[in-house]
Amino acid sequence: MSSTNSSRFTAANTYTISEDEKAVYDRQIRLWGLETQNRLRSSTVLVAGLSGCGSEVSKNLMLTGLKSLTLLDNKTICADDYCSQFLLQRGSEGKNRAEASRQKCQLLNPNVELHVDTGDISEKDEKFFTNFDLVILVDQKYAVINQISKICRNARKPCDFPGFLSFLNNGNSRRDNVSFYLWIFLKVNFRFIAGGVFGWIGYAFFDFTDCSFLVTVPKVRTGGILEDDSVRDDSSPAKKQRIGSEVENGKGGKENKASVNVVLDDDEKIHMTFSYPLWDDAWNVDWTHKRLIRKAKQILPRSYFPVRVMLRLQDSDDTVEQEKFIEMWKKELEQCNHMLDDEYFNVKYFSHFVGPQLSPTCAIVGAHIAQEAIKALSQKDDPLRNVFFYSAIDTSGIVCHLPPIT
């Protein structure tokens, strides 16, 4: 984690919204400011996977007011899709999910450019993904997510800026602060999100490595001398907090000065970047390691295990057999020092993991994905790090740092 003064968007490429758009986005502008809205209106996003969860993500992003949104899906509509995919019209069985979702999705916000791609996400090359500021994969197979997450991470490179590339290529190892910030400023940082819902449970994975975020931190003044008139009667209690005592003024008397450590009311906002693990690293933690075996029981939610099993099983076959599921589930639990006799998570809940997507679960997981997407695109607020789990079975939502920080 580091702090910088960098920004993904510049004055040259940031969209400026019109007066008509200001009226449409008035509530959002009041909530997060005009600069944030301008950044969102400059952003291009890909949503691959128009399942129930994918429709929730698409809805939320359309309403925020992006520059463009691309819906990608090569699957056709089946009966289960109607349980949670609200962008579809009845009687659309056999049609492509992305194409069938276009009409209702566009009605949500005519100001956003909406594109549809009916191709296979696994067959797209690196150049395709560089067209987007953010790539979101929904309900994709494990291997596909792993492949594309690496593509997006490897596609991060300095822009072809005349003169600056030659500076980097000359082997100049000495960079002052200005040069370093400029290097960060010019980098094309791809934002990547993957999520999905299995019946009543769901997850969301985030990778915003080296992307800049304007985060709020407490402003603290330490080790100084605070003048009495700097703490006025109308100041808040937090601003008046003092540690120390009165000091001699050299004339036999005392002045209202003190050595202080003051937590100010006005929080400070600074640009920060964070490191995120790759998809494969997050899901392949060796929990049998002696430093992690005890932590596993403390930090892993109960929904982690069926999610991981479903990701593995669906990677090889779309049909999940109960016997195989329970066998893998028990193995995962044993490795992490958990038991399969939980009140909520036991074999009788198998149908809750393999049935149609539960609409409320899609809404909650989709909302968290959209929330983090807005943070990443607007470069504002502290992002989640790095996996969110939700279960409607025990109504729990938990954020885990995977692999855990040791």
Q: How do 44-48 and 113-117 pair as beta strands? A: unpaired
Least confident interval from 184-188, 331-335, 391-395:
184-188
With contact defined as beta carbons under 8 Å apart, do 98 and 88 qualify? no
Render pLDDT for 281-327 as a digit per residue (tens, 0 to 9). Answer: 999 998 888 888 888 888 899 899 999 999 999 888 767 888 899 88
Q: How do 387-391 and 396-400 pair as beta strands? A: antiparallel
Least confident interval from 55-59, 123-127, 170-174, 381-385:
170-174
**Domain residue ranges of the chain, discontinuous segments joined by +:** 2-155+190-212+272-276+356-400, 219-266
With contact defined as beta carbons under 8 Å apart, do 94 and 76 qualify? yes
Overall pTM surpassing 0.85 (yes/no):
no
| Top-tier CATH class for 2-155+190-212+272-276+356-400 | alpha beta
Please indicate whether residue 352 or residue 184 has the higher confidence score (pLDDT). Answer: 352
Q: Residue 191 forms beta bridges with which residues? A: 134
Render pLDDT for 79-93 as a digit per residue (tens, 0 to 9). Answer: 999 999 999 988 888
Least confident interval from 19-33, 98-112, 383-397:
19-33
Please report, for residues 77, 104, 173, 212, the alpha-carbon distance to residue 98 in angstroms, rounded to integers and kept in the order given: 9, 11, 48, 31
Question: From the centroid of its chain, how far is CA 136?
Answer: 10
> Which pLDDT score, from 0 to 100, does residue 304 have?
94
State yes or no: pLDDT of 162 exceeds 50. no
Percent of the chain residues topping a pLDDT of 90? 46
State yes or no: pLDDT of 129 exceeds 90. yes
CB atoms within 10 A of CB 277: 19
> Which pLDDT score, from 0 to 100, does residue 266 have?
66
